[in-house]
Amino acid sequence: MSIYMIFYDVSAFSLFFVFGIIIIFLLIRLKKADMVAKPFLFTMSIFFLCVLIGQIMIYIFNKTTNFGTGISAGTAHPMMILRLIGYITTIIGTMPLIYILEKQMFKKSLIKNKHIVSIIQILIIAFLITFDLLYLIFQFIDTPVLLNTFLIMGLILTQTLFFVGGFFLIGLRSSGEYRRNAFFVAFGYLIRVLLNLFSILFTYRLGVNPTQSNLISLTIFMTIINILNIITISIMAYGLLNLYKKIE
């Protein structure tokens, strides 16, 4: 095992540890919270737990396949399913939190009462699951990779626009600590999404040419991504934990 892979392992487990601490802290706060704050804290716990599970699955994929370089192009591999489930788990974990935020932190009827963002997500998820089930049953010739990618990117875009745009507007319309915490959530979530998307693209680009040099570059790059994820997720968690106190 190279020194670079050791650094990657340490950064990955450090990320898992941070998520674990956040989840434990949320559960402690949940136990003591009043009925108004409980739904928000509960969905926050689900969000961070799903992200943690997704990160663990992606870590297992990276370790098992050397960041995908061990998988031949165009070849089906069971670990690719694990990575896909990791991404979907992370996305689904965001949906309950979005529902609560729509209901309690926004005033527009289309968002607050109609839950338009949640409906869009449910429709995309339903279509994604339906198509994949049909693919498994009838074994279509064309693989669903591109469609899966398109639908997942649609979900990520929907969630990112809601979180970043919504909390940015909340920050602009507020002042003091409330504005700061809203900006923390928007900034933390946006940077986390960009880091993950950039890591996917970078991994794919070098993965098509699995040389030893590229493997070292991928390991160093993903170590840096993990460290930056620790920082951004901590900023986001801090902002959300302070915002929940203002929910009425």
How far is CA 182 from its chain centroid? 18
Q: For 87-128, what is each residue's pLDDT tens digit?
A: 888 888 888 888 888 877 676 777 777 788 888 888 888 887
More confident residue, 9 or 172: 9
Q: Which residue has the tokens 């109609």?
A: 114
The CA distance from 192 to 42, in Å, is 21
Read off the pLDDT of residues 211-234 as tens digits, 9 standing for 90 and up: 666 678 888 888 999 999 999 999
Is residue 242 within 8 A of residue 181, CB to CB? The reply is: yes
Distance CA 35, CA 123 (A): 30
Phi–psi pair at 82, nearest 5 degrees: -60, -45
pLDDT of residue 75: 53
Backbone angles phi, psi at 29, to 5 degrees: -65, -35
Residues 4, 7: Cα–Cα separation, whole Å? 5
Q: What is the DSSP string of 88-122?
A: HHHHHHHHHHHHHHHHHH---HHHHTT-HHHHHHH
Query: What's 164's DSSP letter?
Result: I
Task: Give the CA count within 13 Å in the CB-facing half-sphere of 207.
Answer: 19
Hunting for tokens 């689900």 — which residue is that? 46
Contact 97, 46 (CB under 8 A): yes
The residue among 154, 165, 220 whose CA lies nearest residue 189 is 165
| Residue pLDDT, tens place only, 39-89 | 888 888 999 999 999 999 989 988 888 777 666 555 556 777 788 788 888
Model's pTM, two decimal places?
A: 0.82
